[in-house]
Amino acid sequence: MKKNILSLTVALLVLMLIIGLTAVAPAAQRDLSRSPLASERANAPKPSNPGKLRIIAFGAHPDDCEIKAGGVAAMWAAQGHHVKFVSTTNGDIGHWKMAGGQLAKRRTKEVQQAAKILGIETQVLDNHDGELMPTLENRKTIVRLIREWKADIVLSHRTNDYHPDHRYTGVLVQDAAFMVICPFFCPDVPHLSKNPVFLYFTDRFQKPNPFEPDIVVAVDNVIDRKLNALVELESQFVEGCVSGHEGLIPKNEAERAASHRRVRDRFRRRFEATADKYRANLIELYGQKKGKKVKCAEAFELCEYGRRPSAAELKKLFPFFKN
């Protein structure tokens, strides 16, 4: 009798232990689901086209990536590589007339249209324009996004820029450059086994150190597509951003077409100036004959915090230099 009671007691204890473990597991899963990116991870498309590059670019506002890397993004996408643009703020004060949620929704819609033209994905984070800070929470968000994209290449601003959002986006991306490979930092998202190559967008700032390109890419073949994407950002480039006025808003389709032509011409000259400024780099990368003929270009500088590729590997990551 005593043996039967003892056996029954042991069985009950084992059953209680199993029930307890079963109850704990969903709770742990619920804790992980509290991540602000959990729902996006659940809905994210599964990786396709194995063997293709995966590139993610972080701009401070819904227009920065499109200006700085829209050309290479379109070229990568045309070759079947995976490209994503992320704006770290929603741009909700970047206009002279409207602000808040209305503007944030408008700017998100604009970059979504631009992304369709470029053939890429895009995402706008819900941080207020002008208020981005290099916090631990924001660092974790950047790390998660890089990991979820399984990035080979990460692009962003340098940290000595005129706009605080640009600077702090650069700081956040730099701070992610090592953390993306640390298994116990943001353990809810699998860490990367290899550090991506991190690069900076071009800029004109000289202090404390000027931009020095490690790679300059001709974008002549996609310049019209890039310009088509940029004119979709009407709140910024047609209506004048924070320095605009009522007279810039097109009153009919003829005025809108004229405004788009002005925007395209202005940006074309800007990208032509990039090619002229870094003509020596273009000749070195493309050869004398082709390098001299390049009209429009984009330039990027390696960040020393990420993986440091050789010149040959860098050209493979930017596979646009074949004769």
Is residue 272 domain-resident?
A: no
Is residue 96 domain-resident?
A: yes
Tokens representing residue 8 in the block = 């029954």
Q: Each residue of 124-139: pLDDT tens digit? A: 999 999 999 999 999 9
Give the global pTM: 0.84
Average pLDDT over residues 77-92: 98
**CATH number of the CATH domain containing 124:** 3.40.50.10320
Q: Is there a contact between 285 and 315 (Cβ–Cβ < 8 Å)?
A: yes
Block residue for tokens 């597509």: 225
The torsion angle over the Cα atoms of residues 161, 211, 91 and 74, rounded to 10 degrees, is 180
* Cβ neighbours, 10 Å, residue 131: 12
By residue count, the chain amounts to 323
Domain count of the chain?
A: 1
Average pLDDT over residues 295-302: 98
The DSSP result for 137-192, as a single string, is HHHHHHHHHHHHHT-SEEEE--SS-SSHHHHHHHHHHHHHHHHTT-TTSSTTSPPP
Average pLDDT over residues 174-199: 96
Is residue 293 domain-resident?
A: no
The DSSP result for 246-287, as a single string, is GGGS-SSHHHHHHHHHHHHHHHHHHHHHHHHHTHHHHHHHH-
Is residue 64 domain-resident?
A: yes
Identify the pLDDT of residue 323: 53
Given pLDDT bands bounded at 50, 70 and 90, which one contains residue 32?
Answer: very low
Average pLDDT over residues 269-292: 97
Q: Domain span at residue 155?
A: 49-218+298-317
Is residue 289 domain-resident?
A: no
Is residue 8 domain-resident?
A: no
